[in-house]
Structure 1
Amino acid sequence: MALMITDECINCDVCEPECPNHAISQGVEIYEINPDLCTECVGHFNEPQCQQVCPVDCIPLDPEREESRETLMQRYEIIVARG
């Protein structure tokens, strides 16, 4: 699954620099995660780094983007290949 940021986000700015895939960006009101770039840090870390640093725990799995670890690894490989 890709991750998502809920409206509990307080715009604290700590998640964006932690994302190794640059999937997190400032949206109109809160930060957003591009699901096409999110690998839940598969390929980089054992756990999603944004979830680790979020002070309000507003970054759950996106229930509309169920993906296997293999799919996330394939996405990671594509992102890395692009440079």
Structure 2
Amino acid sequence: MTFLLVRFLTSAFSIKLEDTADEWFVSRATLQNDMVEVRERFQRYQLTLETRPRHGMKLFGSEVSIRACLTDLLWS
């Protein structure tokens, strides 16, 4: 889950779960299960993931919130 959090926090582009699953050699179902925790973590920082069909998911929120989440993640 940590890698997934970092990937969203550091990406300027949309991320497709299918591509990530192939890259990490895990099933899409595994990533979807992890996404529940990822969304909960992002909600604590007022960050949202928006999903667009055929484009993937993109993280939205203030720069301060993104940096705070990333900092807390790196220090935990």
TM-score range, shorter chain: 0.3 to 0.5
Higher normalized contact order (CA 8 Å, seq sep 6+, divided by chain length) = 1
Higher strand share: 2
Higher helix share: 2
Question: TM-score, normalization: structure 2?
Answer: 0.36
Question: TM-score, normalization: structure 1?
Answer: 0.34
